[in-house]
Amino acid sequence: MADAPSSISSRKGVPAAQAPGNPVRDVRGPIKRLYSSVRDGRGFDIVLVAFPLGFLFLMAGLPLLYNVLMSFQEVDMFSLGTLMRPFVGLKNYRDLFAQPETLPILANTAIFVAGSIAGQFLIGFGLALFFWVNFPGASWLRGLFLVSWVMPGLVVGAIWNWILSGDFGVLNFVLREGGVISGNIFWRSDPNYSLYAVILANIWLGTAFNMILLSVGLSAIPADLYEAAELDGANAWQRFWTITLPMMRSTIGAIIALGLIFTLQQFDLFAAITSGGPNNSSNVTQYWAWEQSFRQYDFAKGATISVLMIIFVMIASVVYVRSTRHEVRG
Amino acid sequence: MTKQIELSGVNKYYGAYHALKNINLSIEKGTFVALVGPSGCGKSTLLRSLAGLESISTGDLKIAGELMNKVPPRKRDIAMVFQSYALYPHMTVEQNLTYSLRIRGVAKAEAKKAAEEVAATTGLSHLLGRYPRELSGGQRQRVAMSRAIIRHPKAFLFDEPLSNLDAALRVHMRKEIRTLHDRLHATSVYVTHDQIEAMTMADHVVVMKDGVIEQQGAPLELYDRPANKFVAGFIGSPAMNFVPATVGEDGRSLAVDIGEKQTIALDRQLQPGRKVTAGLRPEHLHFVEPGQGVFRLPVGIVETTGSATYITTSTATEVTVVDTTRRPVGAGDVIDVSIRPADVHIFDAETGLRV
Amino acid sequence: MTETNRNRLMLLIALVMAAIYLFPLYWMYITALKSGSEMFATPPTFWPSVPQWSTYAFVWESRGMGRYLWNSLVIASGAVVLITVLGVGCAYVLARYRNGWVDVGLFLILMLQVLPASLMITPIFVGFSQLGMLDYPRLAVIIAIAAKSMPFFVVLVRATFMAVPMELEEAALVDGNSRVGAFFHIVLPLARNGILVSAILIFMQAFGEFVYSKSIIQDIELQPASVGLNSFMGPNTNEWNNIMAYATIYVTPILAIFVLLQRRIVSGLTSGAIK
């Protein structure tokens, strides 16, 4: 209905139907009609939405498809400039799983994701519950925690790199003084600890974000529910389990899915703290894929790892969209 | 008189949903028309179609004789007062009032003068520099009205403008809007779900249901001669009593299915034995001495408002009676009431149409 | 316990927790002021004995930070402008309509939002090299960041537009404005704050962006501060006071913006992500 007058509301959820037998014929010229549609009608919306979607398709959609294409090709420095490179079928995928480091890196990724999300969520929930008790200055202080999230990841990595330093790191000093450890832990260079060093930094980085979103969820629970539960005889502990947690279900689902997405995007901390080392002991897929492309110049391998990971990320995001669906629809 | 708004054969579809069904309506210049009906009846859709905020699917819509089907809202020269008032929050009252003038390129000084004139008539002169958030509900309502008035449009459209006000203010604004209409000799279309608003304000009331115009006419015409059961039940408060009835052997009496003595006389001849529904307005049922009346009814619930007492019977088909004489009645009593034959409305039992 | 005392106690606990949580930040600022020997003292000092303010000037000069920060600024500003110009209209349309197409569009946009940059850089790099875009590396990074961050911006700004009542726009149409006019006169001014906050968030993200810049920009003259920091940190560095001085200069402006606009940024962020 390019020539219809403006109908900016479609409250009923279905677009207005093309009505049969409209007695009115539009006698204006096509250019004029186009112009008036952009000025007064649906055309305005189409123009507004067409450019960004086109841009996103070109710059995010096409690369995605190109990634899949490259994972079936042989790509090296010489064939980089051409589009039609030798097609190798599933060879890249077979090679990938034949490599000895593949499975440990996938396992590292799983540990990194699980450890980071568990830490961020539990600490974040604890802080959110604490700040939920409203006292003067609570919301300002709570917001201050978010500085960890707005700082560039590389700077966070640099600071933690220094804190986690083996001989002179302040963390080792604190742990020694507290009697937790007797000798220094070489967080970055000991293969047993290097992955946990990054997890620690990532928990610090993501906790505040978790807390803020959980706070929003908590404050959305109507206060009279708690009053009713209190009158019904529930104590604080029972109220938490029977009111707070069930009411927070969709928020918690969304936050965990979001944490999964953010954790799988984490790259800067690896670049700044361990570079995936020593000997891949702290390497994860998202860093490994980049290493293959930009350290080994094996772009096909990098693309292959990316395709596998992107499929996984997309599944996570479907979970996220589903858990926020009622809110997305408004 | 000239026709200011004319709708002929208008239909509106949202996908498969048929929102307006063959609407025919013509509004003469200077009249105040109320569109009334339950929520979802299409009255708001109809109003928005007049404004151009919705496009009609088929049919013709003319304003001041010109075909408006495909004309965008800004070229229709109509003004609208929204339920939420839709005052621009980032503009002062004066800027809100003059917005439409500035868009049309009216000179600044002239627009300011117009705003001051309108503000003087609506009592907003001292508020011109304020922002909408600094106004009370009634003041916002006045700004919304003034914003419409300032343009001297071909028609005013009102979309439930009083529903956000408290009861006392609503009654007051009702009169104010009507006074304004008369003074401006304006053409107004007023959407409301409140039949009292429609009856008290309008020259012409249009009752809608499910996208169809059920009846239109002068307020008393609708009250006295409702075209069907829906209109009869919708207009008037408390609502009309409906009781199943059968026309007697002679065709001039009605056997009604409540109370002890159940036959009422008719002022017209009907087919004997016909099944009908009798409509009895609560205010038309009057008390009589025991044995003199038509109905003997056991009392169920008594509610009083001070000026009137609503008595609901405990019969199988509940009947409401209004009494304004402070008669001492309590639950369990038996009352004797009667009705004039001319006040009995009769509807076909199946179609619900007036007989 | 009275209300006031309880509040004081809560505030005290909160301050202690904030102090622990923000200790890494404190450690960055303190280390930057320590001398080379104090830095490696055991036990470590928690307040510099003689603050070395000259470290800042030294790092600024020796690392060429002016150039790095300028490049970061160019890249972040370019990305914000591109994202704002394209994203605002998109967010508006997605906020105004409720139908199947909008759901599909929103879903696709959310999908694009989640693609990790380090995984997308491979095809983007190869594609850009084929198109010759690598000759304009900063522009290439701006475009890549825009594609990555625009979905997030659209989601945030859409929430802002949804808070603008549709009646206002309809009133403007009836008052004689066109769709274009109503959009610029009524809707945009009312959504201005939300758009501004979202743009600031995007700016802060782009200012610290690393993966794309590291991979695409080879010329040290054009690299942003994140890449500069990365090359500063060799595997066996012991210049931690200098590195922390660099980090301080890099993040302090961002932290200042954040602390000043904290309330708005937090509320803008939460409205888009969950609500």
Domain-located, residue C113: yes
- Same structural domain, A20 and A118: no
Domain-located, residue A81: no
- Name the average pLDDT for chain B: 91
- Same structural domain, A20 and A105: no
Domain-located, residue A62: yes
Evaluate if residue C10 carries a pLDDT over 60: yes
- Same structural domain, C46 and C82: no
Structural domains in chain A (count): 2
**Dist CA B102 CA B182 (whole Å):** 27
* B29: CB partners within 8 A, 6+ apart: B1, B2, B3, B4, B187
pLDDT (0 to 100) of residue C8: 87
- Same structural domain, C125 and C161: yes
- Same structural domain, A44 and A96: no
- Same structural domain, C146 and C108: yes
pLDDT (0 to 100) of residue B129: 93
A110: domain CATH number is 1.10.3720.10
Is B52 in contact with A5 (Cβ distance < 8 A)? yes
> What is the C-alpha R_g of chain B?
25
- Same structural domain, C34 and C86: no
- Same structural domain, C75 and C193: yes
In this prediction, residue A7 has a pLDDT band, given cuts at 50, 70 and 90, of very low
In this prediction, residue A324 has a pLDDT band, given cuts at 50, 70 and 90, of low
- Same structural domain, A30 and A104: no
Domain-located, residue A87: no
Evaluate if residue A277 carries a pLDDT over 80: no
- Same structural domain, C13 and C122: no
pLDDT in tens, C188-199: 999 988 899 899
Evaluate if residue A234 carries a pLDDT over 50: yes
pLDDT (0 to 100) of residue C248: 93
- Same structural domain, A242 and A107: yes
Task: Give A90-112 as a DSSP string.
Answer: THHHHHHHHSTTHHHHHHHHHHH
Residues of B in contact with C170 (CB under 8 A): 51, 53, 73, 80, 82, 86
Element (H, E) at A310: helix A299-323
Residues of C in contact with B74 (CB under 8 A): 173-178
Chain C: partners with 3+ C-beta pairs within 8 Å: A, B
- Same structural domain, A61 and A171: no
Q: Select from C32, C120, C214, C215 the least CA-distant residue to A154.
A: C214
* Distance of residue B179 Cα from the nearest chain C Cα, in angstroms: 23
Residues of A in contact with B19 (CB under 8 A): 12
* Distance of residue B259 Cα from the nearest chain C Cα, in angstroms: 53
Residue from A10, A34, A36, A59 whose CB has the most chain C CBs within 10 Å, to mutate: A59
**Dist CA B302 CA B310 (whole Å):** 6
Evaluate if residue C128 carries a pLDDT over 50: yes
Q: Select from C13, C23, C49 the least CA-distant residue to A174.
A: C23
- Same structural domain, C89 and C16: no
Task: Give B68-93 as a DSSP string.
Answer: -TT--GGGS-EEEE-TT----TTS-H
Domain-located, residue C248: no
Domain extent for C151: 70-222+258-273
Q: Domains of chain B (ranges plus CATH)?
A: 3-234 (3.40.50.300), 241-348 (2.40.50.140)
Last residue of a domain, one of A40, A70, A100: A70
> Looking at residues C232-239, what average pLDDT do you find?
79
CA dist list (Å): A142 to A244, A249, B261, C149, C184: 20, 22, 77, 25, 36
- Same structural domain, A200 and A320: yes
C180: domain CATH number is 1.10.3720.10
Structural domains in chain C (count): 2
* Distance of residue C136 Cα from the nearest chain A Cα, in angstroms: 16
Residues of B in contact with C165 (CB under 8 A): 84, 86
Domain-located, residue C132: yes
Residues of C in contact with B84 (CB under 8 A): 165, 167
Q: Is A44 on the interface with B (CB under 8 A)?
A: no
- Same structural domain, A135 and A260: yes
Sort residue A241 into left (φ over 0), alpha (ψ -120 to 50) or beta. Answer: alpha
CB C262 within 8 A of CB C188: no
Domain extent for A186: 92-329
Domain-located, residue C182: yes
- Same structural domain, C113 and C179: yes
- Same structural domain, A237 and A321: yes
pLDDT in tens, C100-111: 888 888 888 877
CB A112 within 8 A of CB A194: no
Residues of B in contact with C176 (CB under 8 A): 74, 100, 103-104
Domain-located, residue A83: no
* Distance of residue A14 Cα from the nearest chain B Cα, in angstroms: 6
Q: Is B83 on the interface with C (CB under 8 A)?
A: yes
- Same structural domain, A11 and A134: no
Domain-located, residue A216: yes
Is A19 in contact with B57 (Cβ distance < 8 A)? yes
Residues of C in contact with B160 (CB under 8 A): none
- Same structural domain, A242 and A150: yes
Domain-located, residue A79: no
Chain A: partners with 3+ C-beta pairs within 8 Å: B, C
In this prediction, residue A37 has a pLDDT band, given cuts at 50, 70 and 90, of confident
- Same structural domain, C74 and C48: no
Mean pLDDT is lowest, of A279-293, B99-113, B306-320, C228-242, for C228-242
pLDDT in tens, C252-267: 999 998 888 888 888 7
- Same structural domain, C136 and C266: yes
- Same structural domain, C106 and C179: yes
* Distance of residue A3 Cα from the nearest chain B Cα, in angstroms: 8
Residue with tokens 């009835």: B245
Sheet holding B263-265, edge to edge: B263-265, B253-256, B241-247, B275-280, B345-348
**ipTM for this model:** 0.89
SS3 content of chain B, % helix, strand, coil (to 5): 30, 35, 40
